[in-house]
Every structure is written in structure tokens, then in C-alpha cells.
Amino acid sequence: MRDYQNEAIAAVESAIGNGQTNCLVAMATGTGKTRTIIGLMYRLLKAERFHRILFLVDRTALGNQAQDAFNEAPLEQNQPLSKIFNVAELGDMAAEAETRVQVATVQAMVKRIFGSDAPPPVDEYDCIIVDEAHRGYPIPKNRPT
């Protein structure tokens, strides 16, 4: 990891430690955002600061790209995140109890929350990482108030 990636992880960890509930990490194209987030997720899960992380993307291609990185980027004992923690793949919305990272698109989560008879409980994820999901989305008209 590069120094600025480690500094970004340390800054987020410090903010969380100080009680901050929202963090924004802005990095330029090609600077290793996904690799940085993998390192951050690893540390947060390993320290048991969070039990289950939702990795939210706005396009299937970004989800697939992230999953590839989760399967390849070496971490502990040269193992990738997906070998250390249970990572539910894009489209697998029925996460098992041992699932630690859930990859989903915004569209799939909206459908799951507002279009399901059994939406996920509010506390299913204790950390949500939004990766480049910056497009505008309409709010469903039939959403609960």
C-alpha cells in the first residue's frame, strides 16, 4: 500500500474512534481507491469494529470489478479478503449469518427494501461503504413514511 492509502485508512479509523458516523474518502482516478477500501474493510472486520459491511455500487460492472479485487488483493498471509472473510457476491441478496461483506447495487437494495414482503432489518449492516454510487436515483412513490 502507498503512504497516502495508509493515511486515508488511518484517518477513517481515527474518525470512527472519535464517534464520527460518516466519512468521505475522495481519491483521484487510478490512485487505488478499491485497494484502499479493501485494506480498510479488512482492518475494521479484523478488529471486530463492524460485523457486516454492505459494499454498495451503482453499476454491476463496478460490483464485478470490486469482487475481482476482493478475490485477488493479498492481505493476511497473502490471502485475499474473500478467503479471510465470507463475501457474498453481487446478486446474492440472501446473505447467510456468516457473511461479513455483501456486495450489492443501489438498484438491488432499493428493490429489496421497498419491493419485498421481507425487507432486511435495519441493523443487518453496521457499516455501509458506497463506492462511486454518485448518480441520482428517484425515490419510489410507494415507500413507507
Of 35, 38, 43, the C-alpha closest to 14 is 43
What is the model's pTM? 0.85
In a domain, 59, yes or no: yes
Distance CA 65, CA 138 (A): 25
Residue type at 140 in one-letter notation: P
pLDDT at 121: 82
In a domain, 31, yes or no: yes
Q: How many domains does the chain have?
A: 1
In a domain, 47, yes or no: yes
pLDDT at 109: 86
Domain that holds residue 11: 3-131
16-62 pLDDT, tens digit per residue, is 999 999 999 988 888 999 999 999 999 999 999 999 999 999 888 88
Does residue 135 carry a pLDDT above 70? no
Distance CA 15, CA 30 (A): 25
In a domain, 57, yes or no: yes
In a domain, 138, yes or no: no
In a domain, 16, yes or no: yes
Q: Once rounded to an integer, what is the mean pLDDT over residues 70-96?
A: 87
CATH of the domain at 48: 3.40.50.300
- Do the beta carbons of residue 86 and residue 99 sit within 8 Å? yes
In a domain, 27, yes or no: yes
93-123 pLDDT, tens digit per residue, is 666 778 999 999 888 888 888 888 878 888 8
In a domain, 102, yes or no: yes
Distance CA 77, CA 122 (A): 34
Between the alpha carbon of residue 45 and those of residues 97, 99, 141, the distances in Å are 15, 11, 36
Contact partners, residue 18, CB within 8 Å, separation at least 6:
none
